[in-house]
Amino acid sequence: MRRLSHLVLSVACVAALPALAWSQTQYRVSQLAALGGTFSSGNSISDLGLVSGAANLSGDQEGHAALWLNGTVYDLGTLGGLNSDIQWPAKNNFGLLAGIAQTGKPDPLGESWSCSAFFPGATATSSTCLGFVWAWGHMRALPTLGGNNGFAAGVNDLGQITGWAENTIHDPSCDTAHSGQVLQFRPVVWGPGPNQVRELPLLDGDSSGAATALNDKGQMVGISGTCDQAVGRFTARHAVLWQNGSVMDIGNLGGVAWHTPMAINLQGHVVGFSNVSAADGGALHEHAFLWTRSGGMKDLGTLYPNDVHSQAFAINVRDQVVGLSCTAHFASCHAFLWENGQMSDLNLRVPGYDGLLAQALDINDEGVITGLAVDAATGNQVGFVATPDGGFSSHASLAVRHAAMPDPMRDRFLRRMKLEGVADLP
């Protein structure tokens, strides 16, 4: 696929930042080609620099899980349906990837399931969806707990995969009217054997949940709550950690919903996002967090005073954290890097790049970052890789560009969070 060019992005305004006392590593940015369409997203990067995620086919009606190697994009296919995706960071350095794919078989209960939030809208609910494992050219479906759908998220070097899968129980706590969810679903870990699946325990009183990430020490993180929407909200009533067969609540930032761990590193440090006030109820008003066993859950705040949303997506062995920070209604978003107790705008550390880095979605142990950007010339959503170049910069001579999030990017993000048309979203 041809490389996308780096040209000038029109922005709404430019505001000077105050001088800061420290110098920070600069990055060089390259963009990730799509599969004939106008959308690509780098969602995972291994320590060997293998980038995976999703990219649209020509016409943008279908998206496939994609792998980028030495500047070339590879289509990983599906399980017989139209769409697939690798959405969570895959921390496996031996070529093992995990994700979600449609099967081509209609869902007998008409559910939209969790997968639909990550596929192109026109074909997002066309069939059942299963978790998959991909290894060097072969995609294999992962079993459910007897239900119709599953979702594979994190994968480690031991060949274990975290996710969630439906069982056969019709759960009255499911938000059937709005999300279409009918069946209960449970957190699971697959592998390392080909057909191994193990259900993880929930907190007392909870009926559904999901395991989102894991490390090489057997620690896993995820959510525990009610069935609800199968993407978060009250399903994420509790953020939890599993270790040695037991589950523990790791706390929250004050809210009653959306407490969602996204990644865990080798030290057992966890990042994610959590609602900050009980008054928000099920509305999304979240901040990025860092949890450690000694310090509990710490609010990482937001990049700018006008931002009201932030989410942390990944953490590496050096405790570098990446994510996004956004204004109200996700109108404008910037990718952030948090390190040494400070959150910085990644856009201020990429001299020579004129696009907008909107979401930083993963960082490997070498400090290389991948995510989602806005192409300067076309306005398309494109994946990016930001590589440390050894140089340093001071914020004193830089300025931050505030650009409106393009409608397609904002719509895709809100659909992922099941927030379309939510009037009380901050």
Condensed to tens digits (0 to 9), the pLDDT of residues 336-380 reads: 999 999 999 999 999 999 999 999 999 999 999 999 999 999 999
Q: How many residues does the chain have?
A: 426
Residue 400 has pLDDT above 70, yes or no: no
Per-residue pLDDT, 292: 98
For residues 133 and 90, give the distance between their C-alpha atoms in angstroms, rounded to a whole number. 11
For 155, residues 6+ apart whose C-beta sits below 8 A from its C-beta are 90, 91, 92, 96, 97, 98, 133, 161, 162, 214
Say which range, 73-77, 235-239, 350-354, has the weakest mean pLDDT.
350-354
Cβ–Cβ < 8 Å for 49, 368: yes
- Provide the residue ranges of all domains of the chain, joining segments of one domain with +: 1-68+331-420, 76-301
The DSSP secondary-structure symbol of 380 reads -
At 15, which helix (H) or strand (E)? strand 13-16
Per-residue pLDDT, 402: 60
pLDDT tens-digit map of 287-342: 999 999 999 999 999 999 999 999 999 999 999 999 999 999 999 999 999 999 99
Per-residue pLDDT, 403: 62
Per-residue pLDDT, 179: 81
Please give the single-letter amino acid code of residue 110: G
pLDDT tens-digit map of 125-136: 879 999 999 998
Per-residue pLDDT, 126: 78
Neighbouring C-beta atoms of residue 259, cutoff 10 Å: 28
Per-residue pLDDT, 322: 98
Comparison of pLDDT for 124 and 6, the residue scoring more: 124
**How many Cα atoms within 13 Å fall on the side-chain side of residue 173?**
17
For 216, residues 6+ apart whose C-beta sits below 8 A from its C-beta are 91, 156, 157, 158, 266
Comparison of pLDDT for 409 and 95, the residue scoring more: 95
φ/ψ of 251, rounded to 5, equals 95, -170
Per-residue pLDDT, 412: 67
Residue 5 has pLDDT above 50, yes or no: no
| Mean per-residue pLDDT, 23-30 | 89
Per-residue pLDDT, 119: 94
Residue 192 has pLDDT above 50, yes or no: yes
Domain 76-301 CATH assignment equals 2.120.10.30: yes
| Mean per-residue pLDDT, 233-246 | 96
Best CA proximity match to 102, nearest among 93, 94, 112, 92: 112
Say which range, 15-29, 144-158, 238-252, 364-378, has the weakest mean pLDDT.
15-29
| Mean per-residue pLDDT, 134-162 | 96
Beta bridge partners of 67: 52, 74
Neighbouring C-beta atoms of residue 393, cutoff 10 Å: 16
Residue 394 has pLDDT above 80, yes or no: no
Neighbouring C-beta atoms of residue 108, cutoff 10 Å: 9
For residues 189 and 196, give the distance between their C-alpha atoms in angstroms, rounded to a whole number. 8
Beta bridge partners of 189: 162, 198
Best CA proximity match to 349, nearest among 23, 14, 2: 23
Cβ–Cβ < 8 Å for 255, 275: yes
Per-residue pLDDT, 136: 81
Say which range, 19-23, 275-279, 297-301, 309-313, has the weakest mean pLDDT.
19-23
Neighbouring C-beta atoms of residue 146, cutoff 10 Å: 11
| Angle, alpha carbons 372-220-335 (nearest 5°) | 20
| Mean per-residue pLDDT, 83-107 | 95
| Mean per-residue pLDDT, 272-279 | 98
Per-residue pLDDT, 231: 80
Prediction pTM value: 0.90
For residues 340 and 158, give the distance between their C-alpha atoms in angstroms, rounded to a whole number. 30
For 70, residues 6+ apart whose C-beta sits below 8 A from its C-beta are none
Residue 172 has pLDDT above 70, yes or no: yes
Per-residue pLDDT, 399: 53
Residue 9 has pLDDT above 50, yes or no: no
| Mean per-residue pLDDT, 96-102 | 97
Residue 15 has pLDDT above 60, yes or no: no
Per-residue pLDDT, 392: 57
